[in-house]
Chain A
Amino acid sequence: MVTGTAAGAGVVAAVDTVRDQAWEVAAAVPDPELPMLTLADLGVLADVEVDGGSGAVTAWLTPTYSGCPAVAEMAADVDRRLRAAGYPDVRVRLRLDPPWSTDLITAEGRRKLAAAGIAPPRPGGAAPAGRGPVPLTLGPARTGTATAAPVACPHCGDADTEELSRFGSTACKALWRCRACREPFERVKEI
Protein backbone atom coordinates (compact mmCIF):
# COMPACT_ATOMS: atom_id res chain seq x y z
CA MET A 1 0.00 0.00 0.00
CA VAL A 2 1.46 3.32 -1.00
CA THR A 3 1.01 6.01 1.64
CA GLY A 4 1.80 9.68 1.66
CA THR A 5 4.28 9.40 4.49
CA ALA A 6 8.01 9.61 4.01
CA ALA A 7 8.41 6.11 5.44
CA GLY A 8 5.89 4.72 2.94
CA ALA A 9 7.66 6.39 0.02
CA GLY A 10 10.92 4.91 1.24
CA VAL A 11 9.47 1.40 1.23
CA VAL A 12 8.18 1.85 -2.32
CA ALA A 13 11.56 3.13 -3.48
CA ALA A 14 13.32 0.20 -1.83
CA VAL A 15 11.05 -2.31 -3.54
CA ASP A 16 11.61 -0.59 -6.87
CA THR A 17 15.34 -0.87 -6.41
CA VAL A 18 15.04 -4.54 -5.53
CA ARG A 19 12.79 -5.02 -8.50
CA ASP A 20 15.25 -3.30 -10.82
CA GLN A 21 18.07 -5.43 -9.49
CA ALA A 22 16.05 -8.62 -9.99
CA TRP A 23 15.15 -7.45 -13.48
CA GLU A 24 18.84 -6.94 -14.28
CA VAL A 25 19.63 -10.51 -13.20
CA ALA A 26 16.80 -12.04 -15.24
CA ALA A 27 17.45 -9.73 -18.18
CA ALA A 28 21.04 -10.93 -18.49
CA VAL A 29 20.07 -14.59 -19.07
CA PRO A 30 21.20 -15.59 -22.59
CA ASP A 31 18.85 -17.17 -25.08
CA PRO A 32 19.73 -20.88 -25.38
CA GLU A 33 19.62 -20.85 -29.19
CA LEU A 34 20.88 -17.32 -29.87
CA PRO A 35 23.31 -16.94 -26.95
CA MET A 36 24.55 -13.58 -28.22
CA LEU A 37 21.15 -12.20 -27.20
CA THR A 38 19.71 -11.93 -23.73
CA LEU A 39 16.09 -12.74 -22.95
CA ALA A 40 15.52 -8.99 -22.56
CA ASP A 41 17.04 -8.26 -26.00
CA LEU A 42 14.70 -10.87 -27.45
CA GLY A 43 11.62 -9.45 -25.76
CA VAL A 44 10.96 -12.77 -24.04
CA LEU A 45 11.33 -11.36 -20.54
CA ALA A 46 7.95 -9.71 -20.10
CA ASP A 47 8.09 -8.57 -16.50
CA VAL A 48 9.70 -9.09 -13.10
CA GLU A 49 7.83 -8.44 -9.88
CA VAL A 50 9.14 -8.43 -6.35
CA ASP A 51 6.69 -8.81 -3.49
CA GLY A 52 7.37 -5.99 -1.07
CA GLY A 53 6.44 -8.11 1.93
CA SER A 54 7.96 -11.52 1.34
CA GLY A 55 10.65 -10.54 -1.17
CA ALA A 56 9.42 -13.29 -3.51
CA VAL A 57 10.46 -12.71 -7.11
CA THR A 58 8.18 -13.60 -10.01
CA ALA A 59 9.57 -13.48 -13.56
CA TRP A 60 7.22 -13.59 -16.52
CA LEU A 61 8.37 -15.00 -19.85
CA THR A 62 6.54 -14.77 -23.16
CA PRO A 63 7.43 -17.83 -25.26
CA THR A 64 8.27 -17.21 -28.90
CA TYR A 65 6.89 -19.91 -31.22
CA SER A 66 4.37 -22.49 -29.96
CA GLY A 67 6.86 -25.24 -30.64
CA CYS A 68 9.99 -23.48 -29.43
CA PRO A 69 11.88 -26.20 -27.56
CA ALA A 70 13.98 -23.67 -25.63
CA VAL A 71 11.22 -22.38 -23.36
CA ALA A 72 11.88 -24.90 -20.60
CA GLU A 73 15.59 -24.07 -20.63
CA MET A 74 14.87 -20.35 -20.52
CA ALA A 75 12.60 -20.81 -17.51
CA ALA A 76 15.11 -23.04 -15.74
CA ASP A 77 17.95 -20.58 -16.45
CA VAL A 78 16.03 -17.58 -15.13
CA ASP A 79 15.11 -19.52 -11.99
CA ARG A 80 18.69 -20.67 -11.47
CA ARG A 81 20.26 -17.24 -12.02
CA LEU A 82 17.86 -15.47 -9.69
CA ARG A 83 18.48 -18.01 -6.95
CA ALA A 84 22.23 -17.77 -7.48
CA ALA A 85 21.92 -13.97 -7.14
CA GLY A 86 20.52 -14.45 -3.66
CA TYR A 87 16.77 -14.42 -4.11
CA PRO A 88 15.50 -17.37 -2.09
CA ASP A 89 11.91 -17.41 -3.35
CA VAL A 90 11.68 -17.40 -7.15
CA ARG A 91 8.77 -18.19 -9.44
CA VAL A 92 8.95 -18.29 -13.21
CA ARG A 93 5.65 -17.93 -15.05
CA LEU A 94 4.73 -18.00 -18.71
CA ARG A 95 2.63 -15.19 -20.12
CA LEU A 96 0.86 -16.14 -23.34
CA ASP A 97 -1.05 -12.93 -23.93
CA PRO A 98 -0.14 -10.80 -25.78
CA PRO A 99 1.72 -13.25 -28.03
CA TRP A 100 5.41 -12.76 -28.72
CA SER A 101 6.31 -10.89 -31.87
CA THR A 102 9.62 -10.05 -33.54
CA ASP A 103 8.63 -6.41 -32.97
CA LEU A 104 9.54 -7.05 -29.31
CA ILE A 105 13.22 -7.58 -30.22
CA THR A 106 14.97 -4.46 -28.94
CA ALA A 107 17.22 -2.18 -31.00
CA GLU A 108 20.16 -3.60 -29.05
CA GLY A 109 18.95 -7.11 -29.89
CA ARG A 110 18.80 -6.27 -33.59
CA ARG A 111 22.29 -4.82 -33.45
CA LYS A 112 23.65 -7.97 -31.76
CA LEU A 113 21.94 -10.22 -34.30
CA ALA A 114 23.48 -8.34 -37.22
CA ALA A 115 26.88 -8.38 -35.51
CA ALA A 116 26.57 -12.17 -35.21
CA GLY A 117 25.85 -12.53 -38.94
CA ILE A 118 22.09 -13.00 -38.59
CA ALA A 119 19.90 -10.50 -40.41
CA PRO A 120 17.40 -9.00 -37.95
CA PRO A 121 13.68 -8.88 -38.73
CA ARG A 122 12.25 -5.73 -40.26
CA PRO A 123 10.99 -3.42 -37.50
CA GLY A 124 7.22 -3.29 -37.53
CA GLY A 125 7.17 -6.05 -40.13
CA ALA A 126 5.17 -8.35 -37.92
CA ALA A 127 2.02 -6.26 -37.95
CA PRO A 128 0.31 -7.70 -41.03
CA ALA A 129 1.37 -11.30 -40.38
CA GLY A 130 -1.52 -13.66 -40.17
CA ARG A 131 -4.09 -11.16 -41.33
CA GLY A 132 -5.53 -10.77 -44.76
CA PRO A 133 -5.13 -12.97 -47.77
CA VAL A 134 -2.07 -15.03 -48.52
CA PRO A 135 -0.29 -13.69 -51.59
CA LEU A 136 -1.20 -15.57 -54.74
CA THR A 137 1.92 -14.75 -56.67
CA LEU A 138 5.24 -16.52 -56.94
CA GLY A 139 7.31 -13.39 -57.21
CA PRO A 140 11.07 -13.43 -57.04
CA ALA A 141 12.33 -13.95 -53.54
CA ARG A 142 14.96 -11.26 -53.95
CA THR A 143 14.51 -8.13 -51.98
CA GLY A 144 14.49 -4.78 -53.68
CA THR A 145 12.02 -6.10 -56.21
CA ALA A 146 9.22 -6.69 -53.73
CA THR A 147 7.24 -4.11 -51.83
CA ALA A 148 8.90 -5.04 -48.55
CA ALA A 149 12.04 -3.26 -47.45
CA PRO A 150 15.26 -4.89 -48.65
CA VAL A 151 17.15 -7.26 -46.40
CA ALA A 152 20.74 -6.15 -46.07
CA CYS A 153 23.46 -8.78 -46.03
CA PRO A 154 24.83 -8.93 -42.46
CA HIS A 155 28.31 -9.64 -43.85
CA CYS A 156 28.83 -7.01 -46.55
CA GLY A 157 25.77 -4.82 -46.15
CA ASP A 158 24.64 -5.18 -49.76
CA ALA A 159 20.88 -5.19 -50.36
CA ASP A 160 21.05 -7.61 -53.30
CA THR A 161 19.98 -10.65 -51.31
CA GLU A 162 17.59 -13.54 -51.91
CA GLU A 163 15.64 -15.99 -49.85
CA LEU A 164 16.73 -19.62 -50.27
CA SER A 165 14.27 -21.15 -47.84
CA ARG A 166 11.73 -19.60 -45.53
CA PHE A 167 12.46 -22.26 -42.95
CA GLY A 168 15.86 -22.78 -41.37
CA SER A 169 17.78 -24.22 -38.47
CA THR A 170 15.34 -22.93 -35.88
CA ALA A 171 11.65 -22.03 -35.99
CA CYS A 172 12.40 -18.30 -35.99
CA LYS A 173 14.89 -18.16 -38.87
CA ALA A 174 14.93 -18.30 -42.67
CA LEU A 175 17.90 -19.07 -44.91
CA TRP A 176 19.12 -16.32 -47.23
CA ARG A 177 22.04 -15.65 -49.58
CA CYS A 178 23.81 -12.47 -50.55
CA ARG A 179 24.20 -12.13 -54.31
CA ALA A 180 27.01 -9.61 -53.91
CA CYS A 181 29.41 -11.42 -51.58
CA ARG A 182 27.83 -14.86 -52.23
CA GLU A 183 27.71 -15.68 -48.53
CA PRO A 184 24.67 -17.47 -47.14
CA PHE A 185 23.18 -16.08 -43.97
CA GLU A 186 20.28 -16.64 -41.63
CA ARG A 187 17.53 -14.14 -41.03
CA VAL A 188 15.04 -13.86 -38.19
CA LYS A 189 11.70 -13.72 -39.98
CA GLU A 190 8.89 -11.48 -38.90
CA ILE A 191 6.08 -12.98 -36.89
Chain B
Amino acid sequence: MHDHTTPATSTTTQAATSTATSGTEDDHVYLSLAEAAPGPEGEGRWAYGTGFADPLLGVDTALPAGLDGADLAAYCLMLGDDALILAQRLIEWCTRAPELEEEVALANLGLDLLGQARLLLTRAGQADGTGRSEDDLAYWREEHEFRNVRLVETPNGDFAYSIARLLLFATTRGVLYEALSAHPDPVLAAVAARGVKELAYHREYATAWTLRLGDGTPYSAERMQAGLDAVWPLLEELFTAHPVERRVGVDPAELREPVLRALGAVVAEAGLTVPDVPPLATVLGRAGRDGVHTEALGPLLAELQVVARAHPGATW
Protein backbone atom coordinates (compact mmCIF):
# COMPACT_ATOMS: atom_id res chain seq x y z
CA MET B 1 0.00 0.00 0.00
CA HIS B 2 1.41 3.38 -0.91
CA ASP B 3 1.44 6.15 1.60
CA HIS B 4 0.08 9.27 -0.05
CA THR B 5 2.00 11.48 2.33
CA THR B 6 5.38 9.99 1.46
CA PRO B 7 7.92 12.82 1.27
CA ALA B 8 9.20 13.68 -2.17
CA THR B 9 12.67 12.27 -1.63
CA SER B 10 11.59 8.81 -0.62
CA THR B 11 8.98 8.71 -3.39
CA THR B 12 11.80 9.44 -5.78
CA THR B 13 13.76 6.54 -4.36
CA GLN B 14 10.73 4.34 -4.71
CA ALA B 15 10.26 5.33 -8.33
CA ALA B 16 13.92 4.68 -9.05
CA THR B 17 14.08 1.30 -7.39
CA SER B 18 10.88 0.12 -9.02
CA THR B 19 12.62 -0.12 -12.38
CA ALA B 20 14.07 -3.57 -12.49
CA THR B 21 17.74 -2.82 -13.09
CA SER B 22 18.28 0.27 -11.01
CA GLY B 23 20.46 0.09 -7.95
CA THR B 24 22.00 2.47 -5.53
CA GLU B 25 23.83 4.49 -8.17
CA ASP B 26 20.57 5.30 -9.89
CA ASP B 27 19.06 6.25 -6.57
CA HIS B 28 21.93 8.60 -6.03
CA VAL B 29 21.42 10.22 -9.42
CA TYR B 30 17.72 10.73 -8.86
CA LEU B 31 18.22 12.08 -5.35
CA SER B 32 20.96 14.45 -6.34
CA LEU B 33 18.79 15.81 -9.13
CA ALA B 34 15.87 16.31 -6.81
CA GLU B 35 17.96 17.94 -4.12
CA ALA B 36 20.37 19.91 -6.30
CA ALA B 37 20.60 23.50 -5.22
CA PRO B 38 20.01 25.47 -8.39
CA GLY B 39 22.92 27.70 -9.30
CA PRO B 40 22.87 31.00 -11.11
CA GLU B 41 24.11 29.53 -14.37
CA GLY B 42 21.35 26.97 -14.57
CA GLU B 43 23.33 23.89 -13.58
CA GLY B 44 20.81 21.83 -11.63
CA ARG B 45 18.24 22.45 -14.34
CA TRP B 46 15.35 20.50 -13.05
CA ALA B 47 12.11 22.26 -13.58
CA TYR B 48 9.60 19.51 -12.86
CA GLY B 49 7.98 19.66 -9.51
CA THR B 50 9.11 23.25 -9.06
CA GLY B 51 5.80 24.82 -9.93
CA PHE B 52 7.03 26.00 -13.31
CA ALA B 53 5.52 23.01 -15.10
CA ASP B 54 2.02 24.54 -15.06
CA PRO B 55 1.15 24.95 -18.76
CA LEU B 56 -0.90 28.03 -17.88
CA LEU B 57 1.71 29.53 -15.53
CA GLY B 58 0.62 33.02 -14.56
CA VAL B 59 -2.03 33.21 -17.27
CA ASP B 60 -5.13 35.15 -16.22
CA THR B 61 -7.63 32.46 -15.31
CA ALA B 62 -10.68 34.67 -14.78
CA LEU B 63 -13.76 33.54 -16.67
CA PRO B 64 -15.09 36.08 -19.18
CA ALA B 65 -18.51 37.46 -18.31
CA GLY B 66 -21.36 35.48 -19.78
CA LEU B 67 -19.46 32.18 -20.01
CA ASP B 68 -20.72 29.32 -17.86
CA GLY B 69 -17.77 27.74 -16.07
CA ALA B 70 -19.19 24.22 -16.05
CA ASP B 71 -19.98 24.38 -19.75
CA LEU B 72 -16.56 25.77 -20.64
CA ALA B 73 -14.90 23.06 -18.54
CA ALA B 74 -16.93 20.33 -20.22
CA TYR B 75 -16.06 21.73 -23.64
CA CYS B 76 -12.34 21.95 -22.83
CA LEU B 77 -12.49 18.35 -21.59
CA MET B 78 -14.04 17.22 -24.88
CA LEU B 79 -11.36 18.89 -26.98
CA GLY B 80 -8.58 18.05 -24.55
CA ASP B 81 -9.57 14.38 -24.38
CA ASP B 82 -9.63 14.17 -28.19
CA ALA B 83 -6.07 15.47 -28.26
CA LEU B 84 -4.85 13.35 -25.35
CA ILE B 85 -6.22 10.07 -26.63
CA LEU B 86 -5.02 10.59 -30.20
CA ALA B 87 -1.59 11.58 -28.85
CA GLN B 88 -1.49 8.25 -27.03
CA ARG B 89 -2.41 6.36 -30.20
CA LEU B 90 0.19 8.24 -32.24
CA ILE B 91 3.03 7.53 -29.85
CA GLU B 92 2.12 3.84 -29.92
CA TRP B 93 3.78 3.95 -33.36
CA CYS B 94 7.16 4.47 -31.68
CA THR B 95 9.34 1.44 -32.58
CA ARG B 96 6.57 0.22 -34.92
CA ALA B 97 6.50 2.71 -37.79
CA PRO B 98 7.62 1.63 -41.30
CA GLU B 99 10.64 3.95 -41.20
CA LEU B 100 12.46 5.94 -38.57
CA GLU B 101 11.42 9.23 -40.19
CA GLU B 102 7.74 8.28 -39.92
CA GLU B 103 8.17 7.27 -36.32
CA VAL B 104 9.72 10.64 -35.52
CA ALA B 105 6.98 12.41 -37.47
CA LEU B 106 4.14 10.60 -35.73
CA ALA B 107 5.71 11.20 -32.32
CA ASN B 108 6.07 14.90 -33.17
CA LEU B 109 2.40 15.12 -34.09
CA GLY B 110 1.53 13.33 -30.86
CA LEU B 111 3.65 15.81 -28.92
CA ASP B 112 1.75 18.76 -30.40
CA LEU B 113 -1.55 17.16 -29.43
CA LEU B 114 -0.28 16.31 -25.97
CA GLY B 115 0.69 19.94 -25.48
CA GLN B 116 -2.77 21.08 -26.57
CA ALA B 117 -4.33 18.51 -24.23
CA ARG B 118 -2.28 19.77 -21.27
CA LEU B 119 -3.52 23.32 -21.80
CA LEU B 120 -7.13 22.28 -22.36
CA LEU B 121 -7.29 19.94 -19.36
CA THR B 122 -5.66 22.57 -17.15
CA ARG B 123 -8.24 25.09 -18.35
CA ALA B 124 -11.04 22.59 -17.63
CA GLY B 125 -9.87 22.12 -14.05
CA GLN B 126 -9.85 25.89 -13.54
CA ALA B 127 -13.13 26.63 -15.24
CA ASP B 128 -15.21 24.11 -13.29
CA GLY B 129 -13.90 25.45 -9.99
CA THR B 130 -12.55 22.10 -8.79
CA GLY B 131 -8.92 23.10 -9.21
CA ARG B 132 -8.11 19.68 -10.64
CA SER B 133 -4.77 19.63 -12.44
CA GLU B 134 -4.02 18.23 -15.87
CA ASP B 135 -2.63 15.12 -14.15
CA ASP B 136 -5.74 14.68 -11.99
CA LEU B 137 -7.86 14.74 -15.12
CA ALA B 138 -5.63 12.60 -17.31
CA TYR B 139 -4.76 9.91 -14.79
CA TRP B 140 -7.63 9.73 -12.33
CA ARG B 141 -10.79 9.72 -14.40
CA GLU B 142 -12.50 6.52 -15.45
CA GLU B 143 -13.42 5.48 -18.96
CA HIS B 144 -16.99 6.85 -18.85
CA GLU B 145 -15.67 10.25 -17.72
CA PHE B 146 -13.66 10.75 -20.90
CA ARG B 147 -15.41 12.91 -23.48
CA ASN B 148 -13.36 12.23 -26.63
CA VAL B 149 -14.96 11.22 -29.90
CA ARG B 150 -14.62 7.54 -30.72
CA LEU B 151 -12.56 8.30 -33.83
CA VAL B 152 -9.44 8.91 -31.75
CA GLU B 153 -9.66 5.81 -29.55
CA THR B 154 -9.92 2.94 -32.01
CA PRO B 155 -6.75 0.84 -32.33
CA ASN B 156 -4.10 2.04 -34.76
CA GLY B 157 -4.71 -0.69 -37.31
CA ASP B 158 -2.22 -0.60 -40.16
CA PHE B 159 -0.33 2.49 -41.31
CA ALA B 160 -3.06 3.34 -43.83
CA TYR B 161 -5.76 3.26 -41.15
CA SER B 162 -3.72 5.52 -38.89
CA ILE B 163 -3.07 7.94 -41.76
CA ALA B 164 -6.76 7.97 -42.70
CA ARG B 165 -7.72 8.65 -39.09
CA LEU B 166 -5.16 11.45 -38.87
CA LEU B 167 -6.45 12.96 -42.11
CA LEU B 168 -10.01 13.06 -40.81
CA PHE B 169 -9.06 14.35 -37.39
CA ALA B 170 -6.50 16.96 -38.46
CA THR B 171 -8.75 18.36 -41.17
CA THR B 172 -11.69 18.69 -38.82
CA ARG B 173 -9.65 20.00 -35.91
CA GLY B 174 -7.91 22.56 -38.13
CA VAL B 175 -11.24 24.00 -39.26
CA LEU B 176 -12.53 23.96 -35.67
CA TYR B 177 -9.45 25.73 -34.29
CA GLU B 178 -9.75 28.44 -36.93
CA ALA B 179 -13.27 29.15 -35.70
CA LEU B 180 -12.26 28.91 -32.04
CA SER B 181 -9.44 31.45 -32.49
CA ALA B 182 -12.14 34.07 -31.91
CA HIS B 183 -13.68 32.36 -28.87
CA PRO B 184 -14.57 34.66 -25.94
CA ASP B 185 -12.45 32.61 -23.54
CA PRO B 186 -8.92 33.97 -24.05
CA VAL B 187 -7.24 30.71 -23.04
CA LEU B 188 -9.27 28.58 -25.42
CA ALA B 189 -8.77 31.17 -28.17
CA ALA B 190 -5.01 31.17 -27.62
CA VAL B 191 -4.80 27.36 -27.66
CA ALA B 192 -6.76 27.35 -30.91
CA ALA B 193 -4.73 30.14 -32.54
CA ARG B 194 -1.49 28.27 -31.95
CA GLY B 195 -3.13 24.95 -32.74
CA VAL B 196 -4.20 26.14 -36.20
CA LYS B 197 -0.56 26.40 -37.22
CA GLU B 198 0.36 23.04 -35.73
CA LEU B 199 -2.62 21.27 -37.26
CA ALA B 200 -1.62 22.59 -40.68
CA TYR B 201 1.53 20.45 -40.44
CA HIS B 202 -0.59 17.46 -39.36
CA ARG B 203 -2.90 17.92 -42.35
CA GLU B 204 0.04 18.22 -44.69
CA TYR B 205 1.57 15.02 -43.35
CA ALA B 206 -1.65 13.00 -43.57
CA THR B 207 -2.44 14.45 -46.99
CA ALA B 208 1.00 13.65 -48.38
CA TRP B 209 0.77 10.01 -47.27
CA THR B 210 -2.79 9.63 -48.57
CA LEU B 211 -1.61 10.88 -51.97
CA ARG B 212 1.55 8.78 -51.95
CA LEU B 213 -0.27 5.56 -51.06
CA GLY B 214 -3.41 6.25 -53.10
CA ASP B 215 -1.44 7.23 -56.17
CA GLY B 216 1.28 4.61 -55.66
CA THR B 217 0.93 0.96 -56.63
CA PRO B 218 -2.39 -0.84 -57.03
CA TYR B 219 -1.66 -2.61 -53.75
CA SER B 220 -0.86 0.58 -51.83
CA ALA B 221 -4.04 2.16 -53.24
CA GLU B 222 -6.05 -0.85 -52.13
CA ARG B 223 -4.65 -0.61 -48.61
CA MET B 224 -5.22 3.17 -48.41
CA GLN B 225 -8.78 2.77 -49.65
CA ALA B 226 -9.35 0.07 -47.03
CA GLY B 227 -8.05 2.47 -44.38
CA LEU B 228 -10.45 5.19 -45.48
CA ASP B 229 -13.34 2.72 -45.64
CA ALA B 230 -12.65 1.50 -42.13
CA VAL B 231 -12.32 4.91 -40.51
CA TRP B 232 -15.12 6.73 -42.37
CA PRO B 233 -18.02 5.42 -40.20
CA LEU B 234 -16.48 7.39 -37.30
CA LEU B 235 -16.58 10.70 -39.17
CA GLU B 236 -20.25 11.52 -38.58
CA GLU B 237 -19.70 11.80 -34.83
CA LEU B 238 -17.36 14.75 -35.48
CA PHE B 239 -20.28 16.69 -36.97
CA THR B 240 -22.81 15.67 -34.30
CA ALA B 241 -23.39 18.34 -31.67
CA HIS B 242 -23.49 17.70 -27.95
CA PRO B 243 -25.60 20.37 -26.17
CA VAL B 244 -22.46 21.73 -24.49
CA GLU B 245 -20.82 22.33 -27.88
CA ARG B 246 -23.86 24.28 -29.04
CA ARG B 247 -23.96 26.38 -25.89
CA VAL B 248 -20.31 27.29 -25.45
CA GLY B 249 -18.35 26.27 -28.53
CA VAL B 250 -18.63 25.84 -32.26
CA ASP B 251 -21.57 23.77 -33.47
CA PRO B 252 -19.82 20.80 -35.12
CA ALA B 253 -22.55 20.69 -37.76
CA GLU B 254 -20.94 23.84 -39.21
CA LEU B 255 -17.74 21.87 -39.80
CA ARG B 256 -19.40 19.30 -42.06
CA GLU B 257 -19.36 21.22 -45.32
CA PRO B 258 -15.79 22.60 -45.26
CA VAL B 259 -14.36 19.34 -43.90
CA LEU B 260 -16.12 17.13 -46.45
CA ARG B 261 -15.03 19.45 -49.23
CA ALA B 262 -11.38 19.33 -48.09
CA LEU B 263 -11.42 15.57 -47.59
CA GLY B 264 -13.11 15.02 -50.93
CA ALA B 265 -10.38 16.98 -52.69
CA VAL B 266 -7.61 14.91 -51.09
CA VAL B 267 -9.33 11.60 -51.77
CA ALA B 268 -10.00 12.53 -55.39
CA GLU B 269 -6.44 13.69 -55.95
CA ALA B 270 -5.22 10.39 -54.51
CA GLY B 271 -7.33 8.52 -57.07
CA LEU B 272 -9.45 6.99 -54.32
CA THR B 273 -13.16 6.95 -53.58
CA VAL B 274 -15.01 8.74 -50.79
CA PRO B 275 -16.49 5.82 -48.85
CA ASP B 276 -20.25 5.43 -48.93
CA VAL B 277 -20.74 3.82 -45.55
CA PRO B 278 -23.26 4.34 -42.74
CA PRO B 279 -22.01 5.96 -39.54
CA LEU B 280 -21.06 3.79 -36.60
CA ALA B 281 -24.12 3.18 -34.44
CA THR B 282 -24.56 5.07 -31.18
CA VAL B 283 -26.10 3.78 -27.94
CA LEU B 284 -29.53 5.43 -27.78
CA GLY B 285 -28.00 8.47 -29.43
CA ARG B 286 -25.08 8.61 -27.02
CA ALA B 287 -21.44 8.34 -28.05
CA GLY B 288 -18.00 9.60 -27.04
CA ARG B 289 -19.10 13.10 -25.99
CA ASP B 290 -21.48 11.43 -23.51
CA GLY B 291 -18.80 9.09 -22.18
CA VAL B 292 -20.06 6.11 -24.19
CA HIS B 293 -17.01 4.58 -25.83
CA THR B 294 -15.88 1.58 -27.80
CA GLU B 295 -14.18 -1.29 -26.02
CA ALA B 296 -10.82 0.05 -27.24
CA LEU B 297 -10.67 2.94 -24.77
CA GLY B 298 -10.34 0.88 -21.57
CA PRO B 299 -7.06 -0.86 -22.45
CA LEU B 300 -5.66 2.42 -23.81
CA LEU B 301 -6.41 4.17 -20.52
CA ALA B 302 -4.98 1.28 -18.52
CA GLU B 303 -1.65 1.79 -20.25
CA LEU B 304 -1.82 5.57 -20.08
CA GLN B 305 -2.67 5.63 -16.37
CA VAL B 306 -0.80 2.67 -14.92
CA VAL B 307 2.35 4.45 -13.74
CA ALA B 308 0.51 7.38 -12.19
CA ARG B 309 -1.81 5.00 -10.36
CA ALA B 310 0.99 2.71 -9.22
CA HIS B 311 2.79 5.65 -7.59
CA PRO B 312 0.12 8.11 -6.44
CA GLY B 313 1.50 11.57 -5.79
CA ALA B 314 5.00 10.64 -6.90
CA THR B 315 7.32 13.52 -7.71
CA TRP B 316 10.65 13.39 -9.45
By a beta-carbon cutoff of 8 Å, the part of chain A in contact with chain B is: 29-30, 32, 65-69, 71-73, 75-77, 79-81, 84-85, 91-101, 126, 129-131, 133-138, 164-169, 171, 175, 189, 191
Contacts and interface: CB of A to CB of B under 8 A. Distances in A.
Interface string B234-249: 0000000000000000
A168 B205 CA distance: 13
Interface of B: 38-40, 42, 45-48, 50, 52-53, 55-59, 101, 104-105, 107-109, 111-116, 118-119, 174, 178, 186-187, 189-191, 193-201, 203-205, 207-208, 211-212, 215, 262, 265-266, 269
A144 to B, nearest CB: 20
Contacts of B38: 76, 80
Given A76-B52, A97-B186, A129-B200, 18 more contacts: A32-B45, A65-B111, A66-B118, A67-B111, A72-B47, A76-B50, A77-B42, A84-B40, A93-B58, A94-B58, A98-B193, A126-B197, A130-B178, A130-B199, A136-B207, A167-B109, A167-B205, A171-B111
Given A66-B112, A66-B116, A130-B174, A175 B194 contact: no
Contacts, number: 146
17 contacts: A66-B114, A66-B198, A68-B115, A72-B47, A72-B48, A80-B40, A80-B42, A91-B58, A94-B56, A96-B59, A96-B190, A99-B194, A134-B203, A134-B262, A138-B212, A167-B104, A171-B108
Contacts of A29: 42
Interface of A is mostly: loop
A145 B262 CA distance: 26
A58 to B, nearest CB: 8
